[in-house]
Structure formats: structure tokens, C-alpha cells
Amino acid sequence: MGTEEKQIKHAADHAAEGAGGGPILFFIIGLAIALGIGWIAFPKALYSQKQQPFDFSHSLHNGLVDNGCESCHFFREDGSYAGVPKLAQCIGCHEDVQGSTPEEKVFVEEYVKKGKEVPWLIYSRQPDCVFFSHAAHVKVAKMKCEECHGPIGESKNLKPYEQNRITGYSRDIWGQNIAGIKTHTYDRMKMDDCADCHKERGVKASSVQTERDACFVCHK
């Protein structure tokens, strides 16, 4: 055996005992723990869950009204959007208990009879700096509610409201997917989602800085 061969053999032995087991396993376990914390534990801890004051079935109501979503979620004459209905809109039908659901009983007894507004938690509430014109999207661009809000009209129950503990915003803004991957147009409600659609539909590029649509289109 020459010196050269000896050296090679020695190096090979050394590699076999050093790289095996220990450090690599340690690294893999560490990585798994870190990923687990980052992708599972942290998102769970990040959002607090709140229940709505009482349950509500969109699909049940949708079957009873004439004008679809706009029957209750309507435009005011000045072009502003009413959003979640107030007691005044519900009272037309719900002055007394109509059906047999326990939720309706809660609604009528706790809120209608006492004249108290329902403190609904609003899933799609945007931060204060956002100006969203429903008129521009629904009346001018003729978009359907589902494009941003999803098939909420077919839901039988209200999901828990998840609030980001750091920002205070609803989880619907970031979306359910913690990686931010979206498969539907209604999966997220972030600024990038607005901007993507605006670019796609060719909203007038009036910004000098970005050569896209200007900031003062959606901000206030």
C-alpha cells in the first residue's frame, strides 16, 4: 500500500464515521420541529377564535328573498354600501318568531324585542386606510359578490371569526392558507389581490410612480 492509497482509505473511514447518524439526524429533527412550529403551531397561536352572537343560515334566507344578496346587503342612494344589515332591515320579517330554529328565538328575544343591534363580527372588514367602493365593482364592473366573498350565500352556518392577535384583522384578509397560496379569487383579500385584478382588467394606469393604478384609488 502506497502513501497515497493509505491517505484515501483513511479519509474514507473518517467520512463514514463522521457524517453518519448524529449530526444529520439532529439537523433533520431540528428542521422538522422548526417547520412544525412555523407552519402549524404559530398559525394556530396567531389567530384567536370568536363565535358570532348567534348562528345564521345564508342559504335559508337566500331561498326566501326575491332579490338575492341585494335584498339585505344593499346600496344606499348616495352610492355607499350598507354592508351587514342593521336591525331595521331584519325587523320587517322578524318582529315575531317566524320559524322554529333556536337561533331565531335568540335573535328575536335578545335583540329585536330589546331594540339592540346585533354585534356581528365582520369577516371582510378591511383596515382603516382602505377605501373600497362597492359601487365601482358591482355597478360599473358588474362583478358578482362571489368573486370576492365566495359562496357565502350557500352557507348554512356562520364560521368562527378568527382574529389575528398581532394586527387585529380578520383571517379572511390573509386567507386560510398560511403560505398565502390561493386557488379561488375569494381566498384572500389583501392589497396584492386587489392589485392583481386591477392590472388584469386594465384599471386606468394613472400613477406616476408605479405606472399602474394610483394609490388613491383604494386608499383614503
Partner 1 sequence: MKNEQGKPKKYGMVVDLDKCTGCGACMVACMSENNVPFKADESNKRDSITWMRVYKITNGKPFPDTENCFLPRPCMHCEGQHGHSPCVSVCPATATDYSTETGIVSQIYTRCFGCRYCMGACPYHARHFNWWDPVWPDGMEKSLSPNVSVRMRGIVEKCSFCFHRYQAAMDKAMMEGRKELEESEYQTSCTQACPSGAITFGDLNNPKHAVYELKKNPNAFRLLERLGTNPKVYYVSSREWVRRAGDNYIKGEWENKQNAKK
Q: Enumerate binding residues for partner 1 (CB under 8 A).
A: 75, 77-80, 127-129, 131, 133, 135-136, 139-140, 204, 206-210, 214-216, 219-220
Beta pairing, strands 47-50 & 161-164: antiparallel
Q: Which three cell numbers stand for residue 82?
A: 350598507
Q: Of 109 and 196, which has the nearer Cβ to partner 1?
A: 196
Task: Give the shortest CB-38-to-partner 1 separation in angstroms.
Answer: 26
Q: Of 31 and 141, which has the nearer Cβ to partner 1?
A: 141
Task: Give the shortest CB-46-to-partner 1 separation in angstroms.
Answer: 20
Question: Position of cell 355597478?
Answer: 139
The region, left, alpha or beta by phi > 0 then psi within -120 to 50, assigned to residue 79 is left
Q: What are phi and psi of 49, to 5 degrees?
A: -105, 135
Q: Of 36 and 68, which has the nearer Cβ to partner 1?
A: 68
Q: Of 68 and 127, which has the nearer Cβ to partner 1?
A: 127
Task: Give the shortest CB-82-to-partner 1 separation in angstroms.
Answer: 12
Task: Give the shortest CB-195-to-partner 1 separation in angstroms.
Answer: 12
**Nearest one of 128, 138, 36, 44 to 82, comparing CA atoms:** 138
Cα–Cα distance between 54 and 82 in angstroms, integer?
A: 21
Q: Which three cell numbers stand for residue 187?
A: 381566498
